A and B are shown apart, each in its own frame.
Chain A
Amino acid sequence: MSPQPLGSLHGFAVTFRQIFRKPITQQYPEYKRPLYPRFRGRHRLNRFENGLEKCVGCSLCAAACPADCIRVVAAENTPENRVSAGERYARIYEINMSRCIFCGYCEIACPFDAITLGNEYEISEYSRDDLIYTKDMLLAEPRKRVTIQDPELFDTPIPYYRAKA
């Protein structure tokens, strides 16, 4: 069969019909698509309601990390300086975001739900040094907030490891 120039009209029919359809384009920086509840974004360290940190500095997240991007240095809690609920706390807690692959193994590993992966994904920086997140940055409330789809509709009945986070 030799190519028929008229055959190209089939393609034009497709593109012409598209004119009458609603475009699926989303104006991204202005409009942000709601994320699904399981989305793994930037990490967060969590606190109890009384302000104590959940992290006890056990370094299990660092052991679980396939990219070796977490650094934890633990110190003892004292009666004068009580930081976490356990015996020890994380004196230094750093995540090197330029190495992180967002696999979420740290979140799975943590037995105290201290580290969870949040929903922020706009985390680019101008300098690599700025991508090393310190404990204060991870504990702080995230600046940017992204809407999330209803977990009732789009997640398992009890998101089993986020229930207590």
Chain B
Amino acid sequence: MAIAERPLIYEGTRVPHPIPTMLRVDDELREMGDILQVNFGPNHPSTHGVLRLVVDLDGEKVVGLEAKIGYVHTGFEKTMEQKTWWKAITYPARIDYLAYQNNELVFVLAIEKLLQLETPPKATWMRMLLCELNRIHSHLVWLGTSALELGAISVFWYTFREREALCDLFELATGYRLHTRYFQAGGLAEDIPKGFEAECRKFCKTMSPGVDQYEALLDKNAIWIERTRGLGLLSADDAIALGQSGPVLRGSGVDWDLRKSQPYLAYDQVDFDVPVYHGGDVYDRYKLRMDEMRESTRIVEQCLDAMPEGPWIADDRKVVLPPREELHTSMESLIYHFKIVTEGYRVPEGEIYVAVESPRGELGCYVVSDGGPRPWRVKFRAPGFAALEATATCMRDALVADLIAIVGSLDTVMGEVDR
């Protein structure tokens, strides 16, 4: 991790002691009796879900902050341990409902690593394509809602125009607009449909002018600059100390992207840049996501150009469901079909940690198998959870109105934080 020589974002560290995720009010200040405690959330429209922040206000200044989470705790990880590996694939997508395809990918990659299963190149490239489309999707929703919260409602309509086209693409390829279950252990659930390439190219053509439009709407907008620049500062050292990853870390000037540093899928075969900004404020995180959308569009175009022919799922009868047409002719295939659906395939004993770069940062999946048909333990490393931990540090010297901008810029998805 190379930290470039730049003017310091701020002096020293701001990670509060002893609990880094809370901002404590000075006892002296509290005794003066002017502190107003306000609940921000859990049903506030701009908390991106059901986040509750207990904010201590001294006038307009935020002097204390504590995040209360767990309102959408659904026990995904535990539920997945009760399901067979095959069935559990439907769960990760619902953890982070904006980056569903990346979540699905990380779990499927974990299974494949334990099984030591090779995926055909077509599946690898299609996975990469869909993950990048998903990154654009997540950033579009982030931009639309964050700008909406700061009063820029028109951006929301422009971003959701592109998002709608994206959801259509997902519907075309996978059958569902969100939560696709398209990635299966060994490859893809179905072949890439005809017409997908043409539709996807059409989308790529509209995407880059689209990003230009969002930038034209916001980049030079006086209100937007006033409300984002120099706010929510997080220095590179603090970002690393708080375990940040993804746009929050790169916005603070650290060049760290899992797609470059430890390439998975075929990211080493495509040409793309990792944008890095050095301001560490809300504005830089916004600019970074804009650049990421452009880069993702570039990757999608390269994936379309390089999409190989061939099978879309590995030929491993122990794990992969047999081809549909064989069920009516081959007894053996029917037996395997029943075996995989009812009992599930067995995954060799072992443990694995797989990490991918989700739109929010390092999304990790730690899986332990006891050799049975069900995962023994599943644990996700949610980047949104780590980002939420940085809220208190970012909130130093902030006014209550900046709270919305800062919490928004960290891009937490509560489904992922609470799991």
Contact = CB atoms under 8 A, between A and B. Distances in A.
If over half of B's interface residues share one DSSP class (helix, strand or loop), that class is named, otherwise mixed; here it is helix
5 nearest A-B residue pairs (beta carbon): A7-B220, A38-B175, A3-B222, A66-B87, A3-B225
* A contact residues, range: 35 or more
B161 interface: yes
Given A5-B222, A7-B221, A8-B221, A36 B172 contact: yes
B17 to A, nearest CB: 35
Given A3-B225, A101-B90, 7 more contacts: A3-B220, A10-B221, A105-B181, A111-B327, A111-B338, A153-B195, A154-B193
A109 interface: yes
Contacts of B226: 3
B337 to A, nearest CB: 6
Contact of B218 (A11, A63, A109, A161): A11
B320 to A, nearest CB: 12
Contact of A156 (B161, B168, B193, B229): B193
Contact of A38 (B88, B174, B327, B341): B174
Nearest to B155: A11
Nearest to A15: B154
Most buried by A among B181, B223, B229, B323: B181
A5 B91 CA distance: 48
Interface in A91-109: 101-105, 108-109
16 contacts: A3-B222, A3-B226, A5-B222, A7-B222, A14-B217, A38-B174, A63-B341, A64-B87, A101-B90, A102-B179, A103-B181, A105-B181, A111-B338, A154-B172, A154-B195, A154-B196
Contacts of A111: 327, 334, 337-338
Interface of B: 83, 86-88, 90-91, 94, 154, 158, 161, 164, 168, 171-176, 179, 181, 189-196, 213, 216-223, 225-226, 229, 321, 323-325, 327, 334, 337-338, 341-342
A4 interface: yes
Contact of A14 (B168, B213, B325, B334): B213
* Most chain A beta-carbon neighbours within 10 Å: one of B226, B323, B337: B337
Contacts of A160: 190, 323-325
Interface of A: 3-5, 7-8, 10-11, 13-15, 24, 35-40, 60, 63-66, 101-105, 108-109, 111, 117, 152-157, 160-161, 163
A150 B379 CA distance: 42
Nearest to A117: B175
Contact of B171 (A10, A36, A152): A36
Contacts of A102: 176, 179
Contacts of A152: 194
A161 B190 CA distance: 10
Contacts of B172: 36, 38, 154
B213 A8 contact: no
A75 B190 CA distance: 34
Given A7-B220, A40-B175, A154-B194, A108 B225 contact: no
A35 B219 CA distance: 37
A103 B323 CA distance: 19
Nearest to A17: B213
B341 A8 contact: no
A161 B323 CA distance: 9
B171 A66 contact: no
A11 B216 CA distance: 5
A162 B286 CA distance: 44
B194 A157 contact: yes
A40 to B, nearest CB: 5
A78 B321 CA distance: 33
A104 B193 contact: no
Contacts of B323: 160
Contacts of B223: 3, 8
B193 A66 contact: no
A10 B216 contact: yes
Nearest to A102: B176
Contact of B321 (A3, A8, A108, A156): A108
Contacts of A40: 175-176
A65 B87 CA distance: 7
Contact of B90 (A37, A103, A109, A161): A103
Given A8-B221, A60-B338, A153-B194, A66 B91 contact: yes
A38 B188 CA distance: 14
A101 B213 CA distance: 36
